Amino acid sequence: MALTEKQYDKIREELDTSQNPLIFFDSDADGLCSFLLFYRYKNEGYGVIAKTHPKLTAEFARKIEENHADKVFVLDVADVEQEFIDASSAKVIWIDHHGPYERNNVQYFNPRVSNQEDNIPTTNLCYDVVRQDLWIATLGCIADYFMPPFIEEFREQYPDLIGDKKTVGDMYFDTPLGELIKIFSFCLKGKASDVMRNVKILTRIDSPYEILNKETARGKFLHKKYEKAKVIYEGLLKNAIDSADDSNLLVFTYESDKTSFTGDLSNELLYRFPDKMIIVGRKKDGDVRMSLRGRDVIIPPILEEALNGLEGYGGGHEHACGCSIKEVDFNEFLDRIRKKIE
Ligand SMILES: [Mn+2]
C-alpha cells in the first residue's frame, strides 16, 4: 500500500465531486495511462500533456480558466512550480512518484513522502483510486518497469497478452502487451494536435484487442500510426545495438528535431544489455537530450556529479533518469560518467 486507504478515498472523493476536472499528465506511458484511468472513470473534463520537461510552470494556469475547470489534477509530473499553484483559480490535486518536493496550498499525494525508496508508478496509484480498466493499469506499470501487484488478475483476464512470461522485461519486449505499450508510447509522438487526437481515441477504446487486432476503424487508425513510427524506431534500435562494445557503458546518439525515442530505446537497450549502463541521446538545437538507464547503478548521484559546472540539468528515478546538456559539453559529461562506473 503505497498511499493509505484514507488518501485513496480522499482522491476518489475529489474526483467524484468535480464537474469538470482539468488533468495535466506527463508525456510518457505512465502519465498517459494515469490520465486515461481518471478520465475514463469520470467521463468528464479535459486533458493536457505537460510536454515541457517534467515541470508545470505558471503559464499553464491559464488553461484552467480556458476550460472552466473546477479542479486541477496533476499526474506523474515531477515538478509543479509554486507559481503554477499560486496562479491556479481551482484546487490542485497532485499525484506523483518523483521527488518529493515541498509546496504549499496543494493536495500532494506522493508515496515517497513517507518512503523515499518507493517507486510505484503513478498509474498504479491512480488504479487504486478508480479500480477499473485493469489492462490500462497493467500497461502503464509494465511500461514503467514495475511489476504491479495485480499482475495475476491481469493474466487471468488476458492470458494471451502476457502468456507465461514472468519478468517485467519479458512482458515489455516479448508479448502482445509489450506491443500495446509501444502503441501507447508512439501515440504521444509528433505534432501536438495529432497527439491529442490519439489520446482522445484512447479515452474511448473498449478493449486492448480493438487496437491489437484492428477490430474497429479507430483501432486500425492507432495501429497504423504505430506501424509508421515503428519503422523509424526499429532503424534507430538496430544502429544502437550495433554501437555496443565491450565496455559497461552503451552510448547512442542520433539527430532529430522531431520525434524523441530516447525513453523507449533506452528501455529496450537495457533489456538487451542488462549489465550495461545505457545512455541514449537526441541532438537538437545544440543540446543533447538523454535518457539514462542502469540496472546495477543508482543514477541520480552520478548524474549530479557529472553535470557539475556544465550547462545542463537532469534527474529522475534510481534506475531511470532524463537529462539535457549542451552538445559541446557532451564528451566531458560522458568521460565523467565512465570514470564513475568503471
Ligand atoms: Mn511516471
DSSP structural state of residue 328: G
How far does residue 75's CA lie from ligand 1's centre (Å)?
A: 8
- Judge if 295 and 157 occupy the same domain: no
Q: Averaged over 13-36, what is the pLDDT?
A: 97
Helix (H, G, I), strand (E, B) or coil at 330: helix
Q: How far is CA 257 from the centre of its chain?
A: 20
Distance in angstroms (rounded) separating the CA atoms of residues 4 and 206: 31
For residues 126 and 97, what is the distance between their CA atoms, to the nearest angstrom? Answer: 11
- Determine, yes or no, domain membership for 227: no
Helix residue ranges, H only, 188-216: 192-202, 208-212
* Cα 316 to averaged position of ligand 1 atoms, centre (Å): 9
Average pLDDT over residues 8-13: 98
CA of 323 to the centre of ligand 1 (A): 15
Residue 217 Cα to ligand 1 middle (Å): 30
Does some domain include residue 234? Answer: no
322 CA distance to ligand 1 centroid (A)?
Answer: 12
Q: Are residues 29 and 116 in the same domain?
A: yes
Are residues 182 and 69 both part of a single domain? yes
Q: Is 203 a residue whose pLDDT tops 80?
A: yes
What one-character DSSP code corresponds to residue 257? S
Across residues 134-162, what is the average pLDDT?
98
Pair (83, 167) in one structural domain: yes
| C-alpha 153 to ligand 1 mean position (Å) | 22
Pick the last residue of a domain from 218, 237, 256: 218
pLDDT at 20 exceeding the cut of 80: yes
Residues 104 and 157 in one domain: yes
Give the Å distance between the CA of 143 and the centre of ligand 1: 9
- Residue finishing a domain among 218, 234, 255: 218
Would you say residue 258 has pLDDT above 80? no
- Mean pLDDT, the chain, whole residue set: 95
Domain that holds residue 184: 5-218
- Structure-model confidence comparison of residues 99 and 270, the more confident one: 270
| 155-195 residue pLDDT tens | 999 999 999 999 999 999 999 999 999 999 999 998 899 99
131 and 48 within one domain: yes
Say if residue 71's pLDDT is above 70. Answer: yes
Centroid of ligand 1 to alpha carbon of 245 (angstroms): 30
Q: Tell me how far the alpha carbon of residue 144 lies from the centroid of ligand 1, in angstroms.
A: 7
How far does residue 203's CA lie from ligand 1's centre (Å)? 19
Q: Please determine, for residue 123, whether its predicted confidence score (pLDDT) is greater than 70.
A: yes
Tell me what pLDDT residue 51 has.
Answer: 79
Q: What is the pLDDT of residues 26-70, one digit of tens each?
A: 999 999 999 999 999 999 999 999 976 668 999 999 999 999 999
| 138/276 same-domain check | no
pLDDT digits 0-9 by tens, 222-236? 999 999 999 999 999
- How distant, in Å, are the alpha carbons of 118, 288, 295 from that of 328? 36, 9, 28
Q: What's residue 60's pLDDT?
A: 94
pLDDT at 257 over 80: no
- Structural domain includes residue 251: yes
What residues contact residue 228 under an 8 Å CB cut-off, 6+ apart?
A: none
CA–centroid distance, 141 to ligand 1, in Å, is: 9
Tell me, yes or no, whether 87 lies in a domain.
Answer: yes
Contacts 24+ apart (CB under 8 A), 125-128: 125/2, 125/3, 125/34, 125/95, 125/97, 126/33, 126/34, 126/37, 126/38, 126/75, 126/95, 127/37, 128/2, 128/3, 128/8
SS3 breakdown of the chain: % helix, strand, coil, rounded to 5? 50, 20, 30
What pLDDT score does 106 carry?
A: 98
User: Which CATH number is 336's domain given?
Assistant: 3.10.310.40
Q: How many helices (H) and strands (E) does the chain have?
A: 16, 12
Count structural domains, the chain.
Answer: 2
Specify if 241 maps to a domain: no
Q: How far apart are CA 38 and CA 132, in angstroms?
A: 10
CA of 246 to the centre of ligand 1 (A): 31
User: How much is the pLDDT for 52?
Assistant: 66
Q: What is the pLDDT of residues 277-320, one digit of tens each?
A: 999 999 999 999 999 999 999 999 999 999 999 999 998 889 99
Alpha carbon of 171 to those of 97, 138, 321: distances in Å? 22, 11, 22
Q: What is the pLDDT of residue 168?
A: 97
248 neighbors 275 (Cβ within 8 angstroms): yes
pTM equals 0.95
CA of 140 relative to ligand 1 center, distance in Å:
9
Q: Residue 321: phi, psi to the nearest 5?
A: -130, 165
CA–centroid distance, 31 to ligand 1, in Å, is: 6
173: cell is 519486449
* Grid cell at residue 169: 522485461
Distance 111 CA to ligand 1 centre (A): 12
CATH of the domain at 80: 3.90.1640
What is the average per-residue pLDDT within 259-274?
95
What is the per-residue pLDDT for 53?
64
Ligand 1 centre and the CA of 261: distance in Å?
16
Please report whether residue 321 resides in a domain: yes
